[in-house]
Structure 1
């Protein structure tokens, strides 16, 4: 049960969906932010890779709803699917991920701890693997935004489904319609 009365059936609107319906005036800019960060055209980072960053940070933050949903969204958009996403989330150091994306995930993990944890060495390591300033910027912003989204969901004590199929269906909807249709 959510910490506040959202005025709806929480099982029909799990995780962030309930709070977004509770405050539609804040839902609009939050949905727009997610759409731009995770789905808008990007010269190099695919939507699946950006969703993977969101899932990775959400997992580090122990936000079950955001981690499960964004892992499913990443898996639906990456050719390697959920097994790959799970391996990255379990151990980014040994996962079969490219060196550039691994370096960006290290930056995302640092942001999750504190923005001040993003060091010149982490940025230079990412650049050495071919990361651009835009990729570094967007990784920092995705990680920071997901720290906020994670705290929003968990701070209100929202309900998280336990059936992975719920997240797979949500991924199909998201891939087809985007964040503005949630």
Structure 2
């Protein structure tokens, strides 16, 4: 069976992309072993791709704070699930499984974080993220106090909100594009990686 296209918009040829975007895609391909379709989908508009990935990197690759890489991925998976974004649930679910070394975790977080095998601190974090995603106009000081009680400071709370907001954009653009998840993501973190000879 042939796959549908990865996006309803034209997907540029990597060789024809601006040097910086092509270099970024080739770097990701070298590290992951494949090119995640989000890079090709967003490359349809290079200036927007640069802006999106710059903000992505600022939030997800930053040093410091009290959020682990796995917790950042939990935020993405939980809010992407609430936004019905297939691409982000599948892609970031794979990253979450790899980070946390828990094959079942991403499915739990995407479907109902309250039933997931995570800590009360992480449940509070995801509850706040979902409020940012679905009801940001009603965030009040009590929401901040509840997170502070779990050891988050105001900068951590900014990070939770900013990751949620960026992926609100990502979820909507992925749905607009009908961005198809790479096949490779579905098994990542579910089955042991084959050892290279």
State the TM bucket, normalised to the shorter chain.
0.7 to 0.9
Q: Which residue does the alignment assign to 1:5? A: 10
Q: Which residue does the alignment assign to 2:52? A: 30
- Report 1 or 2 for greater relative contact order, CA contacts < 8 Å, sequence distance ≥ 6: 1
Q: TM-score, normalised by structure 2?
A: 0.73
Kept after mapping to 2: 8 A contact 1:15/1:153 = no
Shift of 1:94: 2.9
Shift of 1:71: 1.0
Q: TM-score, normalised by structure 1?
A: 0.78
Kept after mapping to 2: 8 A contact 1:108/1:139 = yes
Equivalent positions of 1:110-149 (< 5 A) are 110-149=131-170
Shift of 1:65: 0.4
Pick closer, same or farther for the CA change 1:42–1:124 going to 2, 3 Å: same
CA distance in structure 2 between the partners assigned to 1:93 and 1:169 by the alignment? 24
Shift of 1:28: 1.6
Q: Compare CA radii of gyration and give the structure with the larger one.
A: 2
Q: Which residue does the alignment assign to 2:105? A: 84
CA distance in structure 2 between the partners assigned to 1:88 and 1:97 by the alignment? 9
| Number of corresponding residues | 165
Shift of 1:126: 1.3
Kept after mapping to 1: 8 A contact 2:89/2:110 = no
Shift of 1:60: 0.7
Q: List 4+ stretches of structure 1 deviating above 6 A.
A: none
Structure 1 residues without counterparts, runs of 5 or longer: 171-182
Structure 2 residues without counterparts, runs of 5 or longer: 15-33, 190-197
Q: Secondary structure at the match of 1:91?
A: helix
Find out whether 1:166 has 2:188 as its counterpart: no
Q: Which residue does the alignment assign to 2:68? A: 46
Q: Secondary structure at the match of 1:142?
A: helix
CA distance in structure 2 between the partners assigned to 1:21 and 1:168 by the alignment? 25
Q: Secondary structure at the match of 1:22?
A: coil
